[in-house]
Structure formats: C-alpha cells, structure tokens
C-alpha cells in the first residue's frame, strides 16, 4: 500500500513527509509509526541496529516506556529524489523526573511506494531544567501555530 507523498520529492512534498512523520511519532503509537516503514526497513538509532517492522515496534515501545511526556519537532534539512535529511529535537523526562532535550539528525531513504526503507539517526541528549522546556503543548500532535525548531532557536 502506497504512503504518500511519494518520491520523487519536491521541497513541498518533502516538508509534508517530515510533518507526517513528526505527527506519527508524537502519537507515541509504535504500531502506527511502524506502518510508515517497509516490512524489512533497516534502522540505526544511536548504537542500535535492527531490521523490520516487529523490531521497530519493540524499539519504540521500549523508548516510550522510558521517555515520559515525549514531545518532538522535526524540520526538513535537505532532500533529493528519494531521500530526506531531517534535524529534530525532542523533550522528555525520565523515571526520576529529570528533563532532557535530545537533538539529532536523521537520514531517510524511501521506496517508490513512499515507505521508508532505511532510517539512520544520530542523537545527543542534553539535561535541561523543567523551566527550560520549550515544547509544552498537550501530549500528541504539535499544534500548527507552535513554533518549529528554527523559530525556537534550536
């Protein structure tokens, strides 16, 4: 089943793909997120490497079990016909109540049906005080009027 927008990407369709991915990740629904990837999608996330939708679901389930109050913003960095580069930041707190802002970059490679066949992510975590949080919308999709990364100075 196709997952528009489809490659080859334009600036507008690449930006739309990025926002759709952000919205899905902010749902914190691993099964929903995994549907955006090919059944044999290859991932590198920090030091973890794995393949396939079941592994994606397991990974995201673990991730969101430990990253509480997760809120993510993604921004288009660059694109070509079937690839998109993204920068992102997300905020979360751990079990002990400590807050973090995680910064990163992702490289995405898409199949012709619009499903992502490869995701390579590099991420760094920065401890922050609760008062330094910038992502304070209600859990779920980022409101359209909420600033993006560039507007927030990130």
Strand 116-128 with 99-110, pairing: antiparallel
| Measured distance CA(140)–CA(126) in Å, rounded | 22
Contact 25, 36 (CB under 8 A): no
**Per-residue pLDDT tens digits for 81-127:** 999 999 999 999 999 999 999 999 999 999 999 999 999 999 999 99
**Per-residue pLDDT tens digits for 43-67:** 999 999 999 999 999 999 999 999 9
């Amino acid at each position: 089943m196709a997952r528009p927008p489809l490659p080859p990407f334009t600036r507008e369709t690449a930006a739309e793909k990025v926002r759709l991915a952000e919205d899905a990740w902010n749902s914190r629904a691993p099964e929903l997120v995994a549907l955006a990837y090919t059944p044999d999608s290859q991932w590198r996330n920090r030091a973890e490497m794995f393949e396939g939708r079941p592994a994606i679901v397991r990974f995201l389930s673990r991730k969101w079990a430990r990253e509480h109050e997760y809120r993510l913003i993604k921004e288009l960095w660059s694109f070509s016909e079937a690839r998109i580069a993204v920068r992102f930041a997300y905020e979360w707190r751990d079990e002990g109540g400590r807050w973090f802002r995680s910064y990163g970059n992702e490289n995405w490679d898409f199949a012709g049906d619009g499903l992502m066949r490869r995701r390579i992510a590099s991420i760094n975590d920065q401890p922050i005080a609760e008062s330094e949080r910038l992502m304070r919308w209600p859990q779920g999709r980022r409101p359209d009027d909420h600033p993006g990364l560039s507007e927030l100075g990130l």
